[in-house]
Amino acid sequence: CTLNCHVFQESLLSSSSGYSNYRGILNWCVVMLVLSNARLFLENIIKYGILVDPIQVVSLFLKDPYSWPAACLIIGREPLSVICYCRTGTISKTTGLILHILNLTSMLILSSATALTVTSMTPVGGVISLGVYTVLFLKLYSYQDTNRWCREIRQAKAKKMTRSFSCKSSNGSAAHTHVSYPGNLTHRDMYYFVFAPTLCYQLNFPRSPRIRKRFLMRRLLEMLFLMQLLVGLIQQWMVPTIQNSMKPFQEMDFSRMVERLLKLAVPNHLIWLIFFYWFFHSSLNFVAEMLQFGDREFYRDWWNSETVTYFWANWNIPVHKWCLRHFYKPMLRNGVNKFLAQTAVFLASAFFHEYLVSVPLKMFRLWAFMGMMAQVPLAWFVGRFLNGNYGNAAMWISLIIGQPIAVLMYVHDYYIIHHVNTT
């Protein structure tokens, strides 16, 4: 036996070997990525100097109060929706429905007007204001839809019951009560849902037993640090790269356009990843902890996506749940086939993406709309021809390359309209 040192076996890097522990190679990729980004960032500092100015953004919002989202107007929209669905004993179903439709329509008009006004001071303020209004629009739609379902169930199963009841919660917390319709129709319940980190309303949200102060402080420090880091990266890395990209686009120099695109892809993707963590983990967990909101599944493992559809279903859980609950499943119940329902969801998402960009920039170029609709054939192609790691690589390539293309398109058109044409 000691004379034999060979057995039948495959090389580790062969797919037939069954070997799967590539942690060292993954660490190598991370180190190489860090070193590559450090080199690019150092090159940026040597070329442009220190461009980070933390006072600039703060002074921009403090200088003009109209730069902030119109919080007062948003709060002012709530009483009408509360009237529509809280006063079930005094307002008929038809009247409430008409008032709610008028409320949502006026909200869209008002949000657009507010965004256009704020954009004259800063486009960032317009985007924030319009985003807040859009979130509120989706919340109110879910609020009326859920209460309509409860009303229909109540009328079908308990026609004799005229009042709701309350009892102790089953989650072990004596501070919260379990309510049934229409006992949930109160101003307190309405405003809790408005500020809760979810877009889907339900009568009884899962509640955490207490506020963890250490957890809350960690999320707050993350929010403050990452926000300043995002602003610094945009000022130092993104802005100079975008400014240097205008000339190749004007001259239609294809090779330099590709070079600018690839150079912009690195900081854009890094900023997007930091923003994801800042918003979906730090910010939403901070708000949830403050409100003792128990459901903290704001995202799933989208980074392991092997298909495009898996990515869109798992990177933004609040929006995905809203689309699934109030848009996709109702279409299936009405006899629409699955593919058309998925396409309709992407179409609605494309509309809101374009709406959030075009209105604050005061121009309609449909780049965001076309980018979202391009996900439909991309999802079909990846799901049909690419599997496993190849599908995951396709997802990452679409993220890393697709976003900077849209950014450059909008910046180029904005520059042409507001600078070249005016001169």
Q: Which pLDDT tens digit goes with each residue over 350-401?
A: 888 888 888 777 777 888 888 888 888 998 899 888 888 889 989 998 888 8
Tell me the range of 91-105, 143-157, 343-357 where mean pLDDT is highest: 343-357
pLDDT value at 154 more than 70 = yes
> Taking Cα atoms as reference points, which of 205, 221, 213, 210 lies closest to residue 297?
205
CB 172 within 8 A of CB 209: yes
**pLDDT confidence of residue 62:** 58
What is the DSSP track for 204-232?
Answer: S--B-SS--HHHHHHHHHHHHHHHHHHHH
Domain with 111, as residue range(s), is 62-157+181-205
* Greater model confidence, 58 or 21: 21
Q: Which residues are catalytic?
A: 353
**pLDDT confidence of residue 125:** 64
pLDDT value at 188 more than 50 = yes
User: Taking all residues of the chain, what is their mean pLDDT, rounded to a whole number?
Assistant: 78
Cα(257)–Cα(224) distance, integer angstroms: 35
Half-sphere exposure of 373 (CA within 13 A, CB side): 13
- Would 51 be classed as within a structural domain? no
Q: What is the pTM of this model?
A: 0.80
- Would 121 be classed as within a structural domain? yes
* Greater model confidence, 165 or 100: 100
Tokens 């317009």, residue? Answer: 126
Straight-line distance from the first to the last Cα atom of the chain, in angstroms, rounded to the nearest whole number: 87
When pLDDT is averaged across residues 169-194 and rounded to a whole number, the result is 72
- Would 135 be classed as within a structural domain? yes
When pLDDT is averaged across residues 127-155 and rounded to a whole number, the result is 83
- Would 152 be classed as within a structural domain? yes
**Positive/negative CA dihedral, 154, 157, 159, 165:** negative
Q: What pLDDT band is residue 226 in, cutting at 50, 70 and 90?
A: very high
Q: What share of the chain is helix, strand, coil (3-state, %, to 5)?
A: 70, 0, 25
**pLDDT confidence of residue 83:** 47
CA distances from 55 to 124, 228, 231 (A): 16, 10, 10
CB 208 within 8 A of CB 293: yes
CB 74 within 8 A of CB 129: no
When pLDDT is averaged across residues 202-212 and rounded to a whole number, the result is 91
* Greater model confidence, 85 or 393: 393
- Would 104 be classed as within a structural domain? yes
When pLDDT is averaged across residues 130-154 and rounded to a whole number, the result is 85
When pLDDT is averaged across residues 270-276 and rounded to a whole number, the result is 91
- Would 129 be classed as within a structural domain? yes
Cα(229)–Cα(358) distance, integer angstroms: 26
pLDDT value at 91 more than 70 = no
- Would 115 be classed as within a structural domain? yes
Total of domains in the chain: 1
